[in-house]
Chains A and B, each alone.
Chain A
Amino acid sequence: MSDIAQRLQFGGRTWLRWAIPAALIIVLYIVPQLGGSSQFRLGEYEEVLSFLVIAVALNIAMGYGGQYILGITAVFAVGAYGAILAAKYHPQGIGLLAMCVIGAVIGGVGGMIIGLPALRVGGFYLALVSLFAALAIPTVAQKWAFVGADTGIPLYAVLGYSPKLSGELLYVIVVSLVLLATLFSWALVHSRVGHRFVALHTSEQLATSIGITAYRTKLLAIGISSVLAGAAGGIYVYTQQFFAPGSSSVNFAVLLLAGMVIGGGGSITGPLIGGAIILGINQFFTSLQQYNGIVFGVLLLLFAIFLPNGLLARLNVLGERLGINPPRGLGVPGGRLGADLDPAAAAAAPVGAPAAPVNGSGPGAGLTTKPARQLPAWPPVIGAGDSGALIVEGARRAFGGVTAVDNVDLTVKRGQIHGLIGSNGSGKTTLLNLISRFYSLDAGQIRIGSVRLDDKPPHAVARAGIARTFQSPKLMLRETALENVIPAVELRVRCLGLESVLRLPRGIRVNRQARAEALEILQTLGLHHVLAQEASALPHGTRRLVELARAIALRPSFVLLDEPAAGLSPVELELLAEVCQNLARSGVGVLLIEHNVPMVLSIADTVTCLHQGKTLFQGTPEELRANTSVASVFLGIDEPLETPS
């Protein structure tokens, strides 16, 4: 609750941030008093409300997880059929809760049947296969007598069935269920599970590089969303006492999608607002139904092109202008992050760096003064049990007719910095991607000690203790710098996803711990002034440092850095060198790909030089300086490189 107090302190109108949703919730509860409370009307409201639960479900999988399960209405339909059949054959024993549970279970199974195969390909395959299921299930039901064929199953006609809840009490319960689903989705996306969804949504390579299992995480997103959509089927059946093929046509799936896109996927309330608008129009303006397809189609098209983040993002911008929202992307004292920054840490903040994020060092400001503090040790946590080196042996990989990496041997020892240099196209990044298992080897071996890595999936490489950065930084752009680092910590502070979502004691502790550790690493890199800034607002050099922080946050045994110095300021460059040396001192093996040869030579213990995919040189920096072949390839001269004075 102190969080609320924190927000209330800030600015003049921020109380509206809480007052507006609160007012909307109250309005939701008293809608029957405003718009008529006849049994028929209540039924109509409840129908829309049960659809909103599907919208919440769709938002979890698609808005956050990036998994386009467009045909989620298929899942809703099988859940609903399961619930109504159960009630038909056991009219006495099936209440609202039982229907929700039955719907959730059957919906979850249905979602898996679609998701398991479709996700093997991924991308738009899931969208199309699930849409086809949304088309097929009502079509099959139309002909199938067991589920009532075309006319469906009317529960009110079943002898002995009498629901315990009805009237306004039922309405209030259904509203509460929608709010519960929303609260659940909030808790989910702000948990370690939700962090994984967003990472995966951003980039599969990014996600696997911090040890997230892509397939399983996608399946989880779809599973959770299917369970919720199936439960919505239960709510629908209980309130409508009826289900027929027409209750979930494929066009309904498109309506739900439109609601989500228009409201704003990837935000908690956006899909509810959009869903209420679209489904409300569809439900209560039936005279226009003939043309709804045109109206919704045009809206969907316009939003997809011009406002891909939806209405809510617009409202948020408006809220900022009116002083209702704290400005996003600025580390405002007293804001969300103000609570995280404990005074002691702030006091110990690096000398010369702005103590508080005030004007002048807002967005766009890179690191201008280097942190004077001694970097703490980062001894390996993942893969620390092994003491072997990272060994690449006879690695070969061809793309078409070009052999990008040709019989390369390389050993990165723990506690040492191994520089990897070479001109553009010499195969450096390919070698890194081979180690990360983004590409597979044509020949050769990659292992840590005696443990083979080259037959493992990419996430297993991270879990074996190898962290990496990317040539062009991969960050979750809509998340803050801090939120970008947290998922990496969460790989090694283990607890069940459910504990984190439901905020069970261990979940709370681990959530806090992940946040605190991420915060600490960013602070030691002198990034305390950008903690709460959205990654999209960060300058290039800072993005690199945030990525570096993420790699360190894994507490790996090996770090692979892909041109980390590109675009850094001199001060940042110095920090980078210190970080590399500190990693090595802590016992971490560093593989440093760089074009900045002086820097590599000044800190590396061993240097490998690649040329056209082959190893041209391997040895100490001193040997490299004396080597004529490297000099001739790089500079076209026949003399050894001069030792810089």
Chain B
Amino acid sequence: MAVTLFLTALVAGLAVGSVYGLIALSYTVLFNSTSIFNIAQGDLMMAGVLVSYFCLDRWHLPQVVALLAIIAVVVALSLIEERVAVRPFLRRPGIGLGWFIATLAFSLIIETVASNIYGQNPVVPIPGALGNGTFTVAGVHVATKFILAFVVMIVVMVELEIFYKRTWLGTAMRGVAEDREVAALRGIDALRISRLAFVIAGLVTALAAFVVAPIVSSDVTVGLTYGLKGFIALAIGGFGSLRGCVIGGLLLGVAEQMFDLYVTSNYEILAALILVLIVLAVRPSGLFGTRAVRQV
């Protein structure tokens, strides 16, 4: 019994952790090319969840259509954000965290608009792409939506690794973050690269929205929560490392469930807070951190 409880918690933790991992990956894609940490990523994901709710619950459209619609909306919002909230700061030389305030403001706008669109409707479950079924392994019920989240995250990570290592564009995207001026001298258009980074990050976020909707249902007010947990996954895993994102996300997801199970239930958010404070105190660069975050 105890083992079953443990395994059930582990599976749930890995699934939610996959979502944190996906958000962390989208942060990393952006940070690698723009040196900007986009706190609005969590709310962009919630915009995707809202689209998913309309497509699947209200209009009963096929899953594929829903996926395409989510991608379209999230990527479009991502590009709008790049234009209105980020680009003015990329052009500006020098230091400062003005961009942080701008992305936080953008996040607030998306959240308010989304919750006004959603209105007072009760939170409803959203059907998953692989149905709402479960199957049983060694007495543990595993929901198909959990499997989907995990698989999608792994695939995204592997794809990104290949993209960064094997393609010219991927190398260019990392070069821009290293030094915008030198990259420009090598014929890399930094603005186009940062737009591209927003597209890719938007794509990853859209996938996160697609897999998270069946797990969290249609609550669109928790964007900032997910955004911050994605950051914590990143801080645990280490900045700049794709694998760090994935492992940080999974660790966070599992730690939350274990805290619930063995320490005290209902306080899983405390587990995340304690975990990140400990990691920062003991190993500030994270478990897999390759480089220190640039001093800003």
* Interface status of B116 (Cβ within 8 A of chain A): yes
* Interface status of A319 (Cβ within 8 A of chain B): no
Do B97 and A121 touch across chains, with their CB atoms under 8 A apart?
A: no
- The contact string, 1 if C-beta is below 8 Å from chain A, for chain B 254-280, is 000000000000110110110011101
| C-alpha gap A139/B39 in the complex (Å) | 20
| C-alpha gap A296/B109 in the complex (Å) | 8
Do A124 and B109 touch across chains, with their CB atoms under 8 A apart?
A: no
Do B105 and A304 touch across chains, with their CB atoms under 8 A apart?
A: yes
| C-alpha gap A146/B2 in the complex (Å) | 29
* Interface status of B64 (Cβ within 8 A of chain A): no
Instruction: Tell me the smallest distance from the CB of A153 to a CB of chain B, in Å.
Output: 19
Do A297 and B281 touch across chains, with their CB atoms under 8 A apart?
A: no
- The contact string, 1 if C-beta is below 8 Å from chain B, for chain A 296-314, is 1110110011001000000
Name which of B18-26, B144-152, B194-202, B225-233 contacts chain A. B225-233
| C-alpha gap A116/B282 in the complex (Å) | 11
Do B295 and A293 touch across chains, with their CB atoms under 8 A apart?
A: no
* Interface status of B104 (Cβ within 8 A of chain A): yes
* Interface status of B171 (Cβ within 8 A of chain A): no
* Interface status of B95 (Cβ within 8 A of chain A): yes
| C-alpha gap A125/B286 in the complex (Å) | 12
* Interface status of A187 (Cβ within 8 A of chain B): no
Residue of A nearest to B292 (CB): A121
- The contact string, 1 if C-beta is below 8 Å from chain A, for chain B 109-120, is 101110010000
Residues on A with beta carbons closer than 8 Å to the beta carbon of B281: 116-117, 120
Residues on B with beta carbons closer than 8 Å to the beta carbon of A123: 97, 293-296
* Interface status of A244 (Cβ within 8 A of chain B): no
Do A290 and B228 touch across chains, with their CB atoms under 8 A apart?
A: no
Do B276 and A129 touch across chains, with their CB atoms under 8 A apart?
A: yes
* Interface status of A204 (Cβ within 8 A of chain B): yes
Contact of B231 among A114, A128, A254 (CB under 8 A): A128
Do A140 and B270 touch across chains, with their CB atoms under 8 A apart?
A: yes
Do A128 and B102 touch across chains, with their CB atoms under 8 A apart?
A: no
A123-B295, A143-B266, A304-B101 given; A297·B280 CB < 8 A:
no
A117-B281, A136-B269 given; A297·B105 CB < 8 A:
yes
Residue of A nearest to B228 (CB): A132
A123-B295, A136-B273 given; A129·B280 CB < 8 A:
yes
Residues on B with beta carbons closer than 8 Å to the beta carbon of A300: 101-102, 104-105, 108
- The contact string, 1 if C-beta is below 8 Å from chain B, for chain A 240-284, is 000000000011001001100100000000000000000000000
* Interface status of A109 (Cβ within 8 A of chain B): no
Residues on A with beta carbons closer than 8 Å to the beta carbon of B139: none
- The contact string, 1 if C-beta is below 8 Å from chain A, for chain B 91-107, is 00001111011101111
- The contact string, 1 if C-beta is below 8 Å from chain B, for chain A 139-172, is 1100110000000000000000000000000000
| C-alpha gap A143/B268 in the complex (Å) | 11
Residues on A with beta carbons closer than 8 Å to the beta carbon of B293: 121-123, 125
Contact of A121 among B116, B270, B284 (CB under 8 A): B284
Do A304 and B98 touch across chains, with their CB atoms under 8 A apart?
A: yes
* Interface status of B68 (Cβ within 8 A of chain A): no
* Interface status of A6 (Cβ within 8 A of chain B): no
* Interface status of A118 (Cβ within 8 A of chain B): yes
* Interface status of A398 (Cβ within 8 A of chain B): no
Contact of A132 among B84, B95, B231, B278 (CB under 8 A): B231
Instruction: Tell me the smallest distance from the CB of B94 to a CB of chain A, in Å.
Output: 10
| C-alpha gap A329/B70 in the complex (Å) | 53
Residues on B with beta carbons closer than 8 Å to the beta carbon of A135: 224-225, 228, 269
Residues on A with beta carbons closer than 8 Å to the beta carbon of B273: 132-133, 136
* Interface status of A292 (Cβ within 8 A of chain B): yes
Contact of B116 among A118, A124, A127, A291 (CB under 8 A): A291
* Interface status of A68 (Cβ within 8 A of chain B): yes
Residues on B with beta carbons closer than 8 Å to the beta carbon of A127: 97, 100
Residue of B nearest to A305 (CB): B88
Residue of A nearest to B281 (CB): A117
Do B104 and A139 touch across chains, with their CB atoms under 8 A apart?
A: no
Residues on B with beta carbons closer than 8 Å to the beta carbon of A421: none
Instruction: Tell me the smallest distance from the CB of B290 to a CB of chain A, in Å.
Output: 13
* Interface status of B235 (Cβ within 8 A of chain A): yes
A113-B277, A121-B280, A132-B273 given; A291·B101 CB < 8 A:
no
Residues on B with beta carbons closer than 8 Å to the beta carbon of A292: 112
Within 8 A of B (CB), among A80-124: 113-114, 116-118, 120-124
* Interface status of B85 (Cβ within 8 A of chain A): yes
Residues on B with beta carbons closer than 8 Å to the beta carbon of A143: 266-267
| C-alpha gap A298/B95 in the complex (Å) | 23
| C-alpha gap A464/B253 in the complex (Å) | 48
**Residue with the highest number of chain B CB atoms closer than 10 Å, among A120, A125, A143, A250:** A125
Residue of A nearest to B101 (CB): A304
Do A139 and B269 touch across chains, with their CB atoms under 8 A apart?
A: yes
Instruction: Tell me the smallest distance from the CB of A206 to a CB of chain B, in Å.
Output: 11
* Interface status of A294 (Cβ within 8 A of chain B): yes
Lowest 10 CB-CB distances: which A-B pairs, in order?
A: A293-B112, A297-B109, A117-B280, A300-B105, A297-B108, A123-B296, A301-B105, A120-B284, A117-B281, A143-B266
Other 16 A-B pairs with CB < 8 A, given A297-B109, A298-B109: A117-B276, A118-B280, A120-B284, A121-B292, A121-B293, A122-B295, A123-B294, A124-B37, A128-B228, A129-B235, A129-B276, A129-B280, A132-B228, A293-B108, A297-B106, A297-B112
12 A-B pairs, CB-CB below 8 angstroms? Answer: A68-B97, A122-B293, A123-B97, A127-B100, A128-B39, A250-B224, A254-B108, A294-B116, A297-B107, A297-B112, A300-B102, A301-B85
